[in-house]
Amino acid sequence: MATRRDTPYIWATWLTKLLSGEGQCEWSAWFRAHHKDYDRLPTDLDVAAWTLDHGQLVRTRREQLLAEGYEVFVEDDNAFKRVGKTGIVVSGKPDLVAFRDGRGVIEDCKTGRPRTSDSAQVLVYLLLFPIGNPRCAGLKMSGRVVYRNGTLDVPPESLDAAFRERFVALVQRVGAEKPLAKNPAWAECRFCDIGPTDCLYRVDQPPESAEASTDLF
């Protein structure tokens, strides 16, 4: 059963689809930020297969970076927790952080098809990971998304004032007491683990209008 958290706690990935516009259900992030131990539903995501694929991609990329002469830190080594002046906590864990020649790169590995939220996630890491982190002191940091078939650079210039403003505003909304709006939609609910005890609005089926025959063409 869901219990209230003492202070708002946000895992970075709860924000990235909202930041990129790929997700609309702000209530799901708000609920997780304020509650723990809620009744979880299995989602459409095959977690076991994802963990295997993702772990393999991270290991392969780590080997590549080591071969290129980087000092590499992986997953748990990169866990961070940033406590804002409001008391809101934002945490995360980049897959890989690598250093060479006075520069650092934060990388996240994705096994699915590329999404805008992948870059947004790396931007959140670029914004928060270096704060108070002695490993990053004085270094120029950049980001990268690593896919199975290639990489996408996320240059530090992408971390502009507009992104910072959107991030801060979203963190403050999600961390505030006032509940945010739900967006019951199959495309989102199918990947949401918040069970019916806490959300009565889950949409379990695709919309009936999704597929139909037509004589128009």
Q: Does 145 bind ligand SF4 (CB under 6 A)?
A: no
Q: Does 55 bind ligand SF4 (CB under 6 A)?
A: no
Pick between residue 111 and residue 183 the one whose CB is nearest to ligand SF4. 183
Pick between residue 35 and residue 166 the one whose CB is nearest to ligand SF4. 35
- Min dist CB 137 to ligand SF4, Å, is 39
Per the listing, tokens 């004589």 go with: 215
- Min dist CB 150 to ligand SF4, Å, is 31
Pick between residue 82 and residue 182 the one whose CB is nearest to ligand SF4. 182
Q: Does 61 bind ligand SF4 (CB under 6 A)?
A: no
Q: Does 199 bind ligand SF4 (CB under 6 A)?
A: yes
Q: Does 174 bind ligand SF4 (CB under 6 A)?
A: no
Please give, one letter per residue, the 3-state secondary structure of the chain: CCEECCCCEEECHHHHHHHHCCCCCHHHHHHHHHEECCCECCCCCCHHHHHHHHHHHHHHHHHHHHHCCCEEEEHHHHCEEEECCCCCEEEECCCEEEEECCEEEEEEECCCCCCHHHHHHHHHHHHHCCCCCHHHCCCEEEEEEEECCEEEEECHHHCCHHHHHHHHHHHHHHHCCCCCCCCCCHHHHCCCCECCCCCCCCCCCCCHHHCCCCCCC
Q: Does 16 bind ligand SF4 (CB under 6 A)?
A: no
- Min dist CB 183 to ligand SF4, Å, is 6
Pick between residue 25 and residue 159 the one whose CB is nearest to ligand SF4. 25
- Min dist CB 211 to ligand SF4, Å, is 21
Per the listing, tokens 């000092």 go with: 71
Using CB under 6 A, list all residues that contact ligand SF4: 25, 27-28, 182-184, 188-189, 192, 194, 199, 201-202
